[in-house]
Amino acid sequence: MRSVDEQLAFITDAAVRPEPVRIAIANALGLMCAEEVQANQPLPGFPQAAIDGYAVRAVDVGGERGLRRRPSATQTDNEGDEGRDAASSRASRAEEPGERSLPVVGEVPAGSRQPLRLQPRQAVRVHTGAPLPTLADAVLPLEWTDRGRKRVVAQRPVRSGDFVRRVGDDIQPGDVAVTSGTVLGPAQIGLLAAVGRDKVLVYPRPRVTIVSFGAELVDVDREPGLGQVFDVNSYSLAAAAKEAGADVTRVGIAEGEPRRIKETLEVHLARSEVLIISGAVGGEGAQVMRDIVDSLGEVDSSRVATHPGSVQGFGLLGDERVPTFLLPSNPVSALVIFEVFVRPLIRISLGKRQPFRKVVRARALNHIDSRPGRRGYIRARLMRDAETSDYLVEGLSGAAGAPAHLLAGLAEANAMIRIPEDVTNVRPGDIVDVMFLSPGAS
């Protein structure tokens, strides 16, 4: 019997990263960048107001006096009222100059494309993001004035560069905006847009195909007869693969003569980076599918020292040697195997540095049994102690009287307890390893 770690090493060694493709940045969230993106122009590309106020020459509002240093030129309106209040407070503690009154000779909104030149002892009303008039070297915040429309009274001085975003403050031409190997999140996609890129080279989502097999299966749009059950696995496994980040094709139930099933698999092997076939191991009914996949490549069906899900298979099929998983028909076993073995392969193919779920230590709340010599994955409900913030975990399977095969128990779980091979029971109060199962958890 192969250990869990040996099976994981066997599987992850077969991970294949798809060839990079160029896609629109709007579709690139969560994908790994496959190129180094450099800026070809400065950001911002022109001097602009970092705050609502008046564009001025600092010398015209007392800036030539040796007063305490005013807030940085990189301050923006995004700092909100709190930032402005702090700036006003600092200014009020500085030496007070005499008030200066300047005529307001124009107004420049954000997005203005009309050039404007400022003359000595003049002010221009500017909005956040507006281009600064020629000769203006500072912005006088609204809060530091009487908000005049024809004339404005400067109640505080500013120094040259205050409240101005200079050319290239954020990015200079030639700077690397996004490095190769970066997983593209909202900030990176925003930065790509800021440097004028509408497309980016990325490693695409691995294409995962899901197939169910079994004479007892019917699709959910049909009424099952005697001895028939709904095809649960193709739906649950497709959802799990999509949540892991894959581009999923759900084939549904493979039916017909073995030759027809083989042709179907060959078509999808040519279009996939991963193939998952449920109902392909365990019981005599799976032998037909086993014979078909054996004719397509190499498959290893060694039992794995885990429960549930010790009966499984993995191999490389087709001319492209596509990683292929053979899973049992039991929905709980199939999903547990997916979490432990299939999901890491998908995450590696996506380029994730940490392909495994987050694991925390938690105190068990109930008694849990585990099979000797096998690593147990026990469905569980993870919670936090309101007073200590310690993790607490309640086993939903493995406890006395708790069925191990029911899908409803897995639906209630938000975690799985991982029990070592040499531990056969967990007592209340014992500390155990717990894997998160919440959507998107790493």
Query: Distance between CA atoms of 245 and 239, rounded to whole angstroms?
Result: 10
The residue-averaged pLDDT of 181-197 equals: 90
> Tokens 């001319």 — which residue?
319
Paired tokens of 168: 């290239």
Query: Distance between CA atoms of 436 and 442, rounded to whole angstroms?
Result: 8
81 pLDDT higher than 50: no
The confidence band for 90, taking pLDDT boundaries of 50, 70 and 90, is very low
AA letter at 28: A
**Checking DSSP bridges between strand 375-384 and strand 306-307, what pairing results, if any?**
parallel
Check residue 42 and give its pLDDT: 83
Check residue 152 and give its pLDDT: 92
Q: Rounded mean pLDDT of the chain?
A: 86
Check residue 410 and give its pLDDT: 65
The residue-averaged pLDDT of 261-278 equals: 94
Paired tokens of 304: 């794995």
User: What does the H/E/C string look like for 131-182?
Assistant: ECCECCCEEEEHHHECCCCCEEEECCCCCCCCCEECCCCCECCCCEEECCCC
**What percentage of the chain reaches a pLDDT higher than 90?**
61
Check residue 270 and give its pLDDT: 93
pLDDT tens per residue, range 329-341? 999 999 999 999 9
The confidence band for 98, taking pLDDT boundaries of 50, 70 and 90, is low
Domains and CATH numbers, the chain: 4-18+205-350 (3.40.980.10), 21-43+170-203 (3.90.105.10), 359-436 (2.40.340.10)
Query: Distance between CA atoms of 261 and 292, rounded to whole angstroms?
Result: 8
pLDDT tens per residue, range 101-145? 899 999 999 888 887 888 899 999 999 999 999 899 999 999 999
AA letter at 318: G
Widest CA span of the chain, in angstroms?
96
Q: Are 32 and 205 in contact (CB under 8 A)?
A: no
347 pLDDT higher than 50: yes
- The strand pairing partners of 212, in sequence order, are 253, 278
User: Angle, nearest 10°, between helix axes 258-269 and 287-294?
Assistant: 50
The confidence band for 62, taking pLDDT boundaries of 50, 70 and 90, is confident
Query: Distance between CA atoms of 131 and 49, rounded to whole angstroms?
Result: 6
88 pLDDT higher than 70: no
87 pLDDT higher than 70: no
The confidence band for 92, taking pLDDT boundaries of 50, 70 and 90, is very low
**What percentage of the chain reaches a pLDDT higher than 70?**
87
- The strand pairing partners of 424, in sequence order, are none
Q: Are 68 and 242 in contact (CB under 8 A)?
A: no
Query: Distance between CA atoms of 303 and 311, rounded to whole angstroms?
Result: 5
The residue-averaged pLDDT of 236-261 equals: 93
User: Among 85-89, 202-206, 289-293, whose mean pLDDT is lowest?
Assistant: 85-89
User: Among 8-22, 76-90, 169-183, 196-210, whose mean pLDDT is lowest?
Assistant: 76-90
The residue-averaged pLDDT of 247-271 equals: 93
